[in-house]
Amino acid sequence: MGKLKQFALGGMPLLILGAALFLSGLGLTEQNLQEDRQAGVAAQKTVEALVEYVPERKLHPAPSPVTEEEIVVTENRVLSVQTIDGRDYVGILKIPALSLELPVQTPYVYESLKISPCLFAGDPYHNNMVICAHNYRTHFGRVKNLEPGDSLFFVAMDGEYFQYKVLELEILDPLAEAEMLEPRSWDLTLFTCTIDGEYRLTVRCERVVQVKEATLT
């Protein structure tokens, strides 16, 4: 009995430590879920505000994708910016397959990703746009479920919209910025962290010539 009592007493610190770690993990999970919910609410409110500046009746499809020879025609075009609550936005990213409409903020600042996706590089006029976001479920956490052929739309603040389709998904090293920005036939790239934070989940898309009608919330 004495040995059992000694064993029980000796195991108490481990039990207490285990319980503390378990509770800490629960607290961290709840904090992450709360951040996710807040990010979703913030994004939705911003989209609703941006829509006021881009009335649906003014939406119009962008011209067909430009060729390398025609690129000089659009080289001076820049995305219009609309300021909401002190933050600048260049448009709205619509992903019908995930029932998502997200504001796209500029410039890219890591802290800003808690509010919305950010324009990481490029623009739709030169067919080299890269958008990044946290892997919140309400932001890019579900882009892993996209499939080749799924449609996406980017609506600029002047009402011009661009349609894309998913070509492929790939996993990149977090330091592979050159690969992320490589000038291949990727007209649009979305990326976010994998769940473990070790890699970057990347969605590669191309412009669609025959566009469908885009609508906003």
What is the DSSP secondary-structure string of 139-201?
Answer: TTTTGGG--TT-EEEEEETTSEEEEEEEEEEEEE-TT-HHHHT--SS-SEEEEEE-TTSSSEE
Q: What is the DSSP string of 111-122?
A: GGGGTS-EEEE-
Q: Which residues contact 57 (CB under 8 A, 6 or more apart)?
A: none
Lowest mean pLDDT among 8-22, 29-43, 49-63: 8-22
Tell me: pLDDT of 26 over 50.
no
**Exposed (0-12), middle (13-18) or buried (19+): which is 126, by Cβ within 10 Å?**
middle
Read off the pLDDT of residues 98-119 as tens digits, 9 standing for 90 and up: 999 999 999 999 999 999 999 9
Q: Which has more confidence, 8 or 206?
A: 206
Whether domain 38-207 has CATH 3.20.20.210: the reply is no
pLDDT per position as a tens digit, 159-197:
999 999 999 999 998 877 777 777 567 899 999 999 888
Q: Is the pLDDT of residue 136 over 90?
A: yes
Task: Show Cβ contacts of residue 97 under 8 Å, excluding neighbours closer than 6 positions.
Answer: 145, 146, 147, 150, 151
pLDDT score of 13: 60
Q: 7 or 182, which is more confident?
A: 182
Taking residues 82-110, what's their average pLDDT?
Answer: 96
Task: Write down the pLDDT at residue 28.
Answer: 45
For 80, counting Cβ atoms within 10 Å of its Cβ (0-12 exposed, 13-18 middle, 19+ buried), the class is middle
Q: How is the chain split into domains, by residue range?
A: 38-207
Evaluate if residue 3 carries a pLDDT over 60: no
Is pLDDT above 80 for 95? yes
In the predicted model, is pLDDT for residue 21 greater than 60?
no
